[in-house]
Structures are given as C-alpha cells and as structure tokens.
Amino acid sequence: MAHSIGRSIIGVLLLSNAGGPAIAVEPKSPTPTSEPTSCYRMVGGVDSEMTVGLAVELCAGTTNAKATITCYALAFVNKESGGLGLNRGLAVSLCRAGGGSNRQ
C-alpha cells in the first residue's frame, strides 16, 4: 500500500513541478478526509485547468471545502454568466482561507 501511495505522491509532485493541471487522486481504500483534501478533490470539477500549486493555495487551511469551492466558482466564472470574471490567481486570493491576508 505504501508503494502505491508513493506513486501517487510522485505523480502529483511531477505535475506540480511541471505546472500541470490539478488532479484528483481517488484512494483505493477508504481513508480519513479533511476539509483541505476534500476541497482539493473538488477543484477539478470547477476548473479542470487549474495548476496544482493554485489548487493547494486555494484549499490549504480551509475549514469548509464546499464554501471555498463555491466562492472560487463564483469569482472565476465570467460576468456574462453571473460571476465576477476574475482570473485564477485573483479568484484564489479572494477565496482561500484567510483571504489576501496570507500574502507576505
């Protein structure tokens, strides 16, 4: 089991370093979940082209995955469809846990 988890982690790290899209890795056996990991798994359903780094930035520290993803979806969707039309980076800054206050 540790071997398959290692392969998943390596795949995510390779995509992260390559600036690839965020992916959702479904575990083969039931594992405990947290709000940040639930959020990360939901990102692909809203924005299939978001990079791993932005997905992690959006979801890190969230205490309500559904609210975080809903915020991102509304911020990222174009104005004609009722959203704010923000680019990915600004939508992540608006909706991540702690908002823009985490920037240094």
**Every domain of the chain and the residues it spans:** 2-102
Q: 100 or 27: which carries more pLDDT confidence? A: 27
Side chain identity at residue 9, one-letter code: I
What number of residues does the chain have? Answer: 104
pLDDT for 10: 36
Cβ–Cβ < 8 Å for 73, 46: yes
Residue 30's pLDDT is what? 63
Of 16 and 61, more confident: 61
The structure's pTM equals 0.66
Residue 84 has pLDDT above 60, yes or no: yes
Is residue 54 within 8 A of residue 47, CB to CB? The reply is no
Centre a 10 Å sphere on the Cβ of residue 18 and count the other Cβ atoms it contains: 10
Q: How much is the average pLDDT of 44-69?
A: 96
Is the pLDDT at 3 greater than 60? The verdict is: no
**Cα distance between residue 22 and residue 51, in whole Å:** 5
